[in-house]
Amino acid sequence: MSEIPSSPPLGSDGYPAAGGVARRPAGVEESARANRRWWDAAAPAYLTEHGADLGDADFLWCPEGLREADAHLLGDVAGRRVLEIGCGSAPCSRWMRTAGADVVALDLSAGMLARAAQLNRSTGIDVPLVQGEVGALPVADGAVDVVCSAFGGLPFVADAEGALREVARVLRPGGRFVASVNHPMRWPFPDSPDPEDLRVVSSYFDRMPYVETDGAGRAVYVEHHRTVGDWVRAVVGAGLLIEDLIEPEWTPGRTQNWGQWSPERGALVPGTLILVCSRP
C-alpha cells in the first residue's frame, strides 16, 4: 500500500491542488482524514482570503453576511457553557467570550487551531482550543448549554446523524444547538457566483459525496450533500427539536463574493440553511 503524503501539493492560489474530481462514496474515516489534511494545508490561503470578513473576534454565520450580533440566534450566552464545533481560527468563540460565555472551540484541523492560538495571543482573548472530531466529541454528557457551528464540521462529515447524536449527548436538557450549513439547493447548480450559471447540472436527490482526489486517486477533500428533509430527519432522529429553519437573505450593501456566493446570485436563490434546535 502506498504511503499517504503528509501534505497535499498546493496550487498557485495557495489551496491544495486537486488531481481530479469525482462523485463517489466516502466513509467516515476517509472523509475525516482527507479534510484534516486539506484544512491543515489550506488554512493560510483560506484565512488570507476570508480572514478580514471573518474578523478576529466576530460571529459571521454565513457568506450572506448574517452576524450573531444582529441575529441573536443563540440567545444570551453570558455565563453559559458553549461548545463551538468546526471553529476554524475561532473568531466566533472569541466573540462569544467577549459576550461573557464560558466557551471551548473545537476543530479537526491542527493548521486552523494553530492560527486560532496565534489570534488568541494577538487579541488577548484566550479561548480553550481542542482538536477533535464532531462524531466523537471529547465532552461529558449534558456538560454544555449551547453548541454552535458556523459552516464548521457538519458539511464535511460522512455520518451527520451520528454527529448530531453527539451534539444531543453533550447538551443539557433545554440546551440550544444552532448550525449553518450549505443550503441543499446549492448542489444541483455549478459552483459559480455568476447568476448566468444558475442551471441544473445534477440531481438535488443525488447524495453521492463530492470528492477531490490527488494524482493517485486518494481523497484530498470531501463534502457531503443532504437534502432539507435529510437534515430535518437527522436532527429529529438525534432527539433534538427544530425551532426554526432560517434561509438568510443577502445583507443589503454587502459586496463580498465568497466562492459561489455573490450578491447577484444571493438575490435569486438561498445559499445557507441555519438549523435552530433545542434539546427537550
Rg (the chain; Cα; Å): 18
Please tell me the predicted confidence (pLDDT) of residue 215: 87
- Looking at the chain, the whole-number percentage of residues with pLDDT higher than 90 is 95
pLDDT band at 7 (very low <50, low <70, confident <90, very high): confident
Q: Is the residue at 85 inside a domain?
A: yes
Please tell me the predicted confidence (pLDDT) of residue 263: 97
- The per-type count for the chain, helices as H runs and strands as E runs, is 7, 10
Please tell me the predicted confidence (pLDDT) of residue 195: 94
Average pLDDT over residues 82-104: 98
Q: Is the residue at 256 inside a domain?
A: yes
- Mind listing the pLDDT tens digit for each residue in 202-224? 999 999 999 999 988 999 999 99
Q: Is the residue at 11 inside a domain?
A: no
Phi, psi for residue 185 in degrees, rounded to 5: -65, -15
**Does position 136 have pLDDT exceeding 90, yes or no?**
yes
Q: Is the residue at 111 inside a domain?
A: yes
216, exposed or middle or buried, with CB in 10 Å at 0-12, 13-18, 19+? exposed
- Mind listing the pLDDT tens digit for each residue in 225-277? 999 999 999 999 999 999 999 999 999 999 999 999 999 999 999 999 999 99
- Mind listing the pLDDT tens digit for each residue in 141-179? 999 999 999 998 899 999 999 999 999 999 999 999 999
Give dist(CA 26, CA 79) in Å, integer: 40
Please tell me the predicted confidence (pLDDT) of residue 88: 98
**Does position 55 have pLDDT exceeding 60, yes or no?**
yes
Give dist(CA 146, CA 74) in Å, integer: 8
How do beta strands 219-223 and 241-246 pair? unpaired
Smallest Cα–Cα separation from 67: which of 92, 32, 31?
Answer: 92
Smallest Cα–Cα separation from 56: which of 120, 103, 114, 109?
Answer: 120
Q: Is the residue at 2 inside a domain?
A: no
Reported pTM: 0.96
8 Å CB contact between 137 and 162: no
Give dist(CA 31, CA 43) in Å, integer: 17
Phi, psi for residue 213 in degrees, rounded to 5: -125, 160
Give dist(CA 227, CA 208) in Å, integer: 12
SS (H, E, C) 64-84: CCCEHHHHCCCCCCCCCEEEE
Q: All 3 cell numbers of residue 78?
A: 453570558
Give dist(CA 90, CA 58) in Å, integer: 9
Distances (CA, A) of 67 to 55, 59, 91, 272: 11, 6, 12, 13
Q: Which domain holds residue 211?
A: 20-278
Q: Is the residue at 6 inside a domain?
A: no
The H or E element that residue 269 is part of is none
- The two most distant CA atoms of the chain are separated, in Å, by 53
How do beta strands 171-182 and 144-150 pair? parallel
Identify the CATH number of the domain in which residue 148 sits.
Answer: 3.40.50.150
Smallest Cα–Cα separation from 16: which of 6, 26, 25?
Answer: 6
**Does position 3 have pLDDT exceeding 50, yes or no?**
no
Q: Is the residue at 267 inside a domain?
A: yes
Please tell me the predicted confidence (pLDDT) of residue 2: 41
Beta-ladder partners of 177: 147, 277
Please tell me the predicted confidence (pLDDT) of residue 179: 98
Min mean pLDDT across 4-18, 26-40, 128-142, 217-231 is at: 4-18
Please tell me the predicted confidence (pLDDT) of residue 1: 37
Q: Is the residue at 1 inside a domain?
A: no
Q: Under 8 Å CB-to-CB from 50, ≥6 apart: which residues?
A: 258
Total domain count, the chain? 1
